[in-house]
Chains A and B, each alone.
Chain A
Amino acid sequence: MSSPAVAALPADPFRRSPWPRVAMVALVIYVIYACAQLEVSWARVEIGLENAGRFFARLFPPNFSRWELLVKGLQESLQIAVLASTLGIVLALPIGLCAARNLMPSWATWPARFIIVSARSFHPVIVAILFVKAVGFGALAGILALTLASIGFIGKLFTEAIEEISDKEVEAIRATGASFASVLAFGVLPQVFSRFIGFATYQLDSNLRNSTMVGIVGAGGVGGTLFAAFQRFDYDYVCAILISIITLIMIGEVLATGVRAIFIGNATLSDVFRRGGAHRREMHLEDD
């Protein structure tokens, strides 16, 4: 007596779809084709590896003798990061609020969404080039470029956070006859505050990384020093600059973790110092 369920089984129940295999073959063909297009070959890699030895030998030991210039650049990078994050957050909050579909009518969401998308579409370095041409060399161009990047990033995430809030609190506050401002202050903001802290600290982190780079196109900060040292083949100084940038970024990351622990994890200062910020960070939503 055979059961109908057994009879209905296909000949090979563990048969897999052929498509992943086809995709793999296509991928391999593409890699070969693209390598040919880019003129990437093993010979070039081999020559490069020879160069790499000499290159790394010249990087070490790092040369900190011109540390005054280095500190000045790092300071300017920090200023750019702080000001751009502040301006960006201050401007992004109203724009992000206007873009939230559950609170605003469509005539408000569309322009706000357009601003956010266009602020996000270009790499900060490209925006920095344009601002350098518009407002001249220096920190101002860097601040403006990173402000725009922050508006795009924070605006997008803030909008998404607001759109995901629960309606119950908002309705409860509305039912008491509260004004729109009160609904925002007591119904919406408490629900998004912890996420807001998360991406604000993240943006500060990201602005710090980018502020060390915009100098490559003349927008202020330590990047200009780095690029100049590279072009003069001052590799030991390059190494010193890179070490200090990485140190600065890591300090920034530790501080950001501490701030998240205080605001999201309700930690006290002694908790933060003891645990060194065991609070887990959010998944990276954008490039870091």
Chain B
Amino acid sequence: MAGAATPAAAAAQPPVAERIWRRFSPAQRLARFSVYLVIVAAIAASVQSVEVIPEFLADAPEQVVDLLTRMWPADWAHYPDTVHDALIETLHIATLGTLLSLVLAMPVGILAAHNLVPSTPVNLIAKLILVSSRSVNSLVWALLFVGIFGPGALAGTLAIAFRSIGFVGKLFGEALEEAQRGPIEALTAAGAPWMSRMTYGYWPQVSPAFWSIALFRWDINVRESAVLGLVGAGGIGMVLDSALNLFQWPRVAVVLIAIFAVVVVAEVVVTQVRRRVI
């Protein structure tokens, strides 16, 4: 802070009333100013060079209204014959994907926690796995798995699982690192082997965090699995894709309403479970 000066410097300063008090030092202000500058420059450069056709922009509200009128009334008869099964498949993909990711993420999370595996290279490798899992979007994971396993729910489930490893593993690893030393030391002093230290020392401390991470991720995965079908990885996205390609707007409306309902229900379920159980 600029106000904090050594006593020698304070003697040379003008009287209190005439001093100029500033919250940040010049270097801090320079840092802030340069961030603002970069932001403004980035916005200006983007506005100038982005390829947006002004007529399309002006036309947008009208086109959106037109789209909505074409969607309404929704084709409810489409729900029982196709949408329902696809919706259930989506939920299966989200749930199985989450469960698989829990299984896969736990060892990686343990390897990433420095207090459990006190070896920096191993921690770094585990963190690299977690970062690369998170950096690849679920749609890209889906594309990769469709390439490997062919179109269908298996590719979707694996995509969801691999995408979630980074998220679950990172948060689980952090929860492990924040666990209290006391119980662990007591167990170690009693001669407990590694497995017992895990199950009686760490697990009771991190299990609430673990289950809330799992629930949280499940909620996200329900949303994500709805779009995987666009690249052929199963679920309701495939129904949406075919309806869109055929311009069957009333059917698109049904699918969107179904997705909306499932997302809202999932959020309510997660909130309730978290309140009652965890």
Contact = CB atoms under 8 A, between A and B. Distances in A.
A, B bound: yes
B221 to A, nearest CB: 9
Interface string A42-68: 001101100110010000000000000
Size category, B interface: 35 or more
A272 B260 contact: no
A269 B31 contact: yes
Interface stretch (B13-21, B72-80, B93-101, B117-125): B93-101
A283 B171 contact: yes
B123 to A, nearest CB: 16
B57 A140 contact: yes
Interface string A245-276: 11001100000000100110011111110000
A111 to B, nearest CB: 18
A47 B154 CA distance: 12
A268 B27 contact: yes
A122 interface: yes
Contacts of A213: 137, 139-140
B63 interface: yes
Given A38-B234, A121-B263, A230-B147, A210 B227 contact: no
A40 B154 contact: yes
Nearest to A287: B220
Contacts of B25: 268
Interface stretch (A102-110, A128-136, A169-177, A178-186): A128-136
Does more than half of chain A's interface fall in helix, strand or loop, or is it mixed?
helix
B44 to A, nearest CB: 10
Indicate the member of A31, A263, A268 with the most B CB atoms within 10 Å.
A268
Contacts of B43: 82-83, 86
A121 B264 contact: yes
Contact of B51 (A129, A134, A139): A139
B244 interface: yes
B53 A138 contact: yes
A139 B256 CA distance: 23
A192 interface: no
Contacts of A133: 67, 244
Interface string A192-220: 00000000000000000110110011001
Nearest to A84: B46
A221 B4 CA distance: 49
A286 B220 contact: yes
Nearest to A51: B148
A226 interface: yes
B46 A134 contact: no
Interface in B35-65: 35, 42-43, 45-47, 49-53, 56-57, 59-60, 63-64
Contact of A262 (B31, B96, B147, B224): B31
Which A-B residue pairs are the 4 nearest by beta carbons? A268-B27, A48-B149, A38-B153, A79-B46
Given A126-B227, A136-B53, A226-B140, 12 more contacts: A38-B89, A40-B157, A76-B50, A82-B42, A134-B63, A135-B57, A138-B52, A140-B53, A143-B50, A209-B135, A259-B35, A284-B171
15 contacts: A31-B96, A45-B149, A48-B148, A55-B144, A122-B223, A125-B230, A136-B56, A140-B60, A217-B230, A246-B135, A266-B24, A271-B31, A284-B171, A287-B220, A287-B224
Interface of B: 24-25, 27-28, 30-32, 34-35, 42-43, 45-47, 49-53, 56-57, 59-60, 63-64, 66-67, 88-89, 92-93, 95-96, 99, 131-132, 134-137, 139-140, 143-144, 147-150, 152-154, 157, 167, 170-171, 220, 223-224, 226-227, 230-231, 234, 240, 244, 256, 259-260, 263-264
